[in-house]
Structure 1
């Protein structure tokens, strides 16, 4: 004879999942877990599936952020199996992209540090116009102007028949390269400003690389959380 587990009240679910009673109610209201069954006296009655969903949400929120995790917990109960599974696979791909971007940024910083030990070539040989630099980096000229406005890149002004034009010497090319790498790695403009300030004072570049190492460690922990929650999410998708 199959024994049916007795229903759980809100306090029991909170204790089993590690959330507070109010958090359980809030997450139910947000659709992170299915609505509880109400008894005749109006009290909520939960099941072990609710506990599993709450535990899944905790790791998922750590991995991808609370907003995306809330939306995913709702969607995987409604989507066809193949689409729900693809949604979770997309999170793995996104984390891997973040890791690759952070690795690229670290590589760019290390390259800049290495270039600091080489002798700079004459400006005429190692300078670029805004068009040449934008093409080399794969960004718009307007993006380079914006970076200049934010103090991230410092081109020189040279006289022309039409007035003046931007010219990017070796130092400015380095700044543009590292700005492009950090922006691709998800860094906000204020964070890039800190990194560029460190690069201009080359003694501090190692600290910036250390920050990237910490970012990579954090991505690794988020990836582990996503792997850990996989079985719970699969169970929710299959039961739905």
Structure 2
């Protein structure tokens, strides 16, 4: 282990020191330790907590992760990073990046679907033969379960075509476009009634404009979360590498 890093990790820090360095309050530091965001602090002979720079890195990393994936997932991930191998920990962080990239791709596809609907409202539309998906294929493309698509169908949000002989669902381009928009709206926090209202209004100019604003906000929100994750990069690396070091004597 690097001698300089070892020395910095040995320097004891008080709770107030960790709070000042991390930007959290003293009570928040204690609460986050209790929740498992921090590794347990050592206790001095008089019972006071004794922290190190690793705890500061963990708190800073938590702020970025919470901004990227939410506080619950961030707590779970930090616990994993302290207990898994270097390869597994690095893979876990990569998975977060991949997840954000997929969310962005789906939002962009939803925006393209909206543009196609806009073109259909201003001129003759068209559908390419053979461009259809089964419920399993569409669910995989959107990252949702087939049961979710069935629920959307029950709620009047997405209307698939049906193969008469087997009653199997077949989603043509209009249904695929609608499903992409519904998925983006649900990911943005819209409830089923609000999504239904928006989907009903899509063939009106005001509905198209409102949905376009929603998707723009969705893309902006994903960008903010991605930047939060990037800012946490150095601190996440410190948490991961510190977990690979043998305990300090």
TM-score, scaled to structure 1:
0.77
CA contact (8 A) 1:137 1:177 kept: no
Residues 143-180 of structure 1: CA distance to partner in whole angstroms, max 9, x if unpaired?
A: 7764343132579xxxxxxxxx9xxxxxx974x33431
CA contact (8 A) 2:14 2:50 kept: yes
**What is the Cα deviation at residue 13 of structure 1?**
1.5
User: Are the structure 2 counterparts of residues 6 and 81 from structure 1 closer, same or farther at C-alpha, using a change threshold of 3 Å?
Assistant: closer
**What is the Cα deviation at residue 18 of structure 1?**
1.5
**What is the Cα deviation at residue 231 of structure 1?**
1.5
1:238 and 2:235 correspond: no
> Which residue pairs with 1:82 in the alignment?
87
**What is the Cα deviation at residue 186 of structure 1?**
6.6
How far apart in 2 are the matches of 1:73 and 1:137? 33
> Which residue pairs with 2:184 in the alignment?
185
CA contact (8 A) 1:137 1:180 kept: no
CA contact (8 A) 1:61 1:68 kept: yes
**Equivalences for 1:14-29 in 2 at 5 Å?**
14-29=19-34
Unaligned runs of 5+ in 2: 140-145, 161-166, 244-249
How far apart in 1 are the matches of 2:36 and 2:148? 40
**Which residue of 184, 188, 213 maps to 2:216?**
213
How far apart in 1 are the matches of 2:17 and 2:85? 31
**SS state at 2:109 partner:** helix
CA contact (8 A) 2:64 2:231 kept: yes
**SS state at 1:94 partner:** helix
Unaligned runs of 5+ in 1: 127-131, 156-164, 166-171
CA contact (8 A) 1:81 1:237 kept: yes
How far apart in 2 are the matches of 1:20 and 1:108? 46
Q: What number of residue pairs does the alignment pair up?
A: 218
**What is the Cα deviation at residue 120 of structure 1?**
6.8
> Which residue pairs with 1:222 in the alignment?
225
**What is the Cα deviation at residue 200 of structure 1?**
3.9
**What is the Cα deviation at residue 116 of structure 1?**
0.3
User: Are the structure 2 counterparts of residues 26 and 145 from structure 1 closer, same or farther at C-alpha, using a change threshold of 3 Å?
Assistant: closer
- Select between 136-145 and 78-87 the one with higher mean Cα deviation: 136-145
- Select between 20-29 and 137-146 the one with higher mean Cα deviation: 137-146
Give the number of the structure whose alpha-carbon radius of gyration is greater.
Answer: 1
User: Are the structure 2 counterparts of residues 146 and 239 from structure 1 closer, same or farther at C-alpha, using a change threshold of 3 Å?
Assistant: closer
- Select between 16-25 and 99-108 the one with higher mean Cα deviation: 16-25
How far apart in 1 are the matches of 2:51 and 2:88? 27
CA contact (8 A) 2:114 2:212 kept: yes
> Which residue pairs with 1:72 in the alignment?
77
How far apart in 1 are the matches of 2:219 and 2:182? 15
Residues 109-149 of structure 1: CA distance to partner in whole angstroms, max 9, x if unpaired?
A: 1110110012479xxxx9xxxxx976499459987764343
How far apart in 1 are the matches of 2:17 and 2:230? 27
TM-score, scaled to structure 2:
0.74
